[in-house]
Amino acid sequence: MVRKYLIKTMALLSMTGLLCGCGKKDPDPEPVPVVIKLTPQEGVYGFDENRDGEVRHVGPTATPTPTPTPAPAPQNSSAGNGGTAAKPVDTVPAGGATCYDISELESRVYSADQEAQIAEFYRNTVFTGDSVLLGFKNYCAKSSDPLLKNLKFLASGSYSLHNAFWEVSDKSIHPLYQGQQYPLWESIPMMGVERAFLFFGINDVSFGVDESLALYPQLIERITSAAPGLDVTILSATYTLKDKGKGSLNNNNLAAFNAGNTKMAAEKGWGFIDLATVLSDGQGNLAEKYCSDGELHENELAYRVWVMMLKAYAAERLGF
């Protein structure tokens, strides 16, 4: 009898355990986080634009290695958006490098008539380039100087001679014109400008100085084929603070890049303004007083020097 009772009790316990086990649900497993690791591209800086228009450093970009590809056929529309281009100011043709001394720049004084002519020189002008130029755009936007307020910009963080040849896509970073990306040989003609100032190199020398130098004339010639008669000036790539370069992005390579562009501008008849030397510490580095981020971006003091240099350049082109 006892044995029979024990067997029955064990059977009931087994059934109860089984039933309890069936009634429980295994807890949901912890979600496995998906981590997307971006590998920074050596020597190339990435920057975002805050809502208030200020530029901030957000570290190296993970932009894929650029592969120049043919872009859609350019749309030549040198008259702009149906507007009429202003009568050009009579100037001395560009060609070769223009260098300045900071003390000489600070001592220059222009008459009211000369200031008006300088402003007219830049009235129909576009500046294109990377995030250092984007900083200049923001500086001009805050200025009450009519010369600066009238400047046009096609600037984008991490923009380079290399990715200027990318096809328009969700990965391209061409500057926006009227809310849409275009390669420069399309957007510049659509703007109907007479002059273009190009600022490239900081995001290029990591790929090699010679390769980058070879891309500059290709880009300019593609732009001027779509915008005949465009007056082109190259702005030198500016330096980093001492020992703040990354990999091949260093001041020796930037100096070699600028030297090559100086020679090329003279041969091609393009203008060249040596920003790098005036903003340097005298030893081939960006002077600390002109730096905004401890690396290579520039502050308002630097951009005031840019303005002095641009005015001096226009004055010489105007024959003052």
Residue 90, Cα to own-chain centre: how many angstroms? Answer: 31
217 CB-near residues (< 8 Å, 6+ apart) = 264, 268
Residue 278 pLDDT grade (very low, low, confident, very high; cuts 50, 70, 90): very high
Q: What is the number of other CB atoms lying within 10 angstroms of the CB of residue 301?
A: 13
Q: What is the number of other CB atoms lying within 10 angstroms of the CB of residue 259?
A: 14
Q: What is the pLDDT of residue 98?
A: 73
Q: Vertex 73, ends 179 and 194: CA angle to 5°?
A: 65
In the predicted model, what is the mean pLDDT of residues 69-91?
40
In the predicted model, what is the mean pLDDT of residues 183-202?
98
Residue 96 pLDDT grade (very low, low, confident, very high; cuts 50, 70, 90): low
- The percentage of the chain sitting over the pLDDT mark of 90, rounded to a whole number, equals 67
Domains, the chain = 94-318 (3.40.50.1110)
Q: What is the number of other CB atoms lying within 10 angstroms of the CB of residue 15?
A: 10
Q: Which residues pair with 176 in a beta bridge?
A: 181
3 state SS of 309: helix
Residue 89 pLDDT grade (very low, low, confident, very high; cuts 50, 70, 90): low
- The helix (run of H) or strand (run of E) holding residue 139 is helix 131-142
Instruction: Kindly report, residue by residue over 218-269, the tens digit of the pLDDT.
Output: 999 999 999 999 999 999 999 999 999 999 999 999 999 999 999 999 999 9
Q: What is the number of other CB atoms lying within 10 angstroms of the CB of residue 218?
A: 13
Q: What is the pLDDT of residue 200?
A: 98
Q: Does residue 135 surpass a pLDDT of 90?
A: yes
DSSP 224-292: HHHSTT-EEEEEPPPPPSTT--BTTBSHHHHHHHHHHHHHHHHHHT-EEE-HHHHTB-SSSSB-GGGBS
3 state SS of 185: helix
Assess contact for 55 and 49: CB atoms under 8 A.
Answer: yes
Q: What is the pLDDT of residue 77?
A: 33
Q: What is the pLDDT of residue 47?
A: 38
Q: Does residue 283 surpass a pLDDT of 50?
A: yes
CA distances from 258 to 39, 234, 307 (A): 29, 10, 20
Most confident of 1-10, 36-45, 65-74, 222-231: 222-231
28 CB-near residues (< 8 Å, 6+ apart) = none
Alpha helices in the chain (DSSP H): 2-23, 102-107, 112-121, 131-142, 146-149, 184-191, 209-226, 251-268, 275-278, 300-318
In the predicted model, what is the mean pLDDT of residues 103-126?
95
The rounded distance, in Å, linking the Cα atoms of 2 and 174 is 90
In the predicted model, what is the mean pLDDT of residues 188-217?
98
Token pair, residue 204, equals 């290029």
Strand 55-60 and strand 45-49: the pairing is antiparallel
Q: What is the rounded average pLDDT for all residues in the chain? A: 80
In the predicted model, what is the mean pLDDT of residues 139-149?
95
The one-letter amino acid code at 184 reads: L
Q: What is the pLDDT of residue 95?
A: 73
Instruction: Kindly report, residue by residue over 17-62, the tens digit of the pLDDT.
Output: 433 343 444 444 444 433 333 333 333 333 333 334 443 433 333 3
Q: What is the pLDDT of residue 50?
A: 37
In the predicted model, what is the mean pLDDT of residues 120-144?
97
Residue 179 pLDDT grade (very low, low, confident, very high; cuts 50, 70, 90): very high
Residue 93 pLDDT grade (very low, low, confident, very high; cuts 50, 70, 90): confident
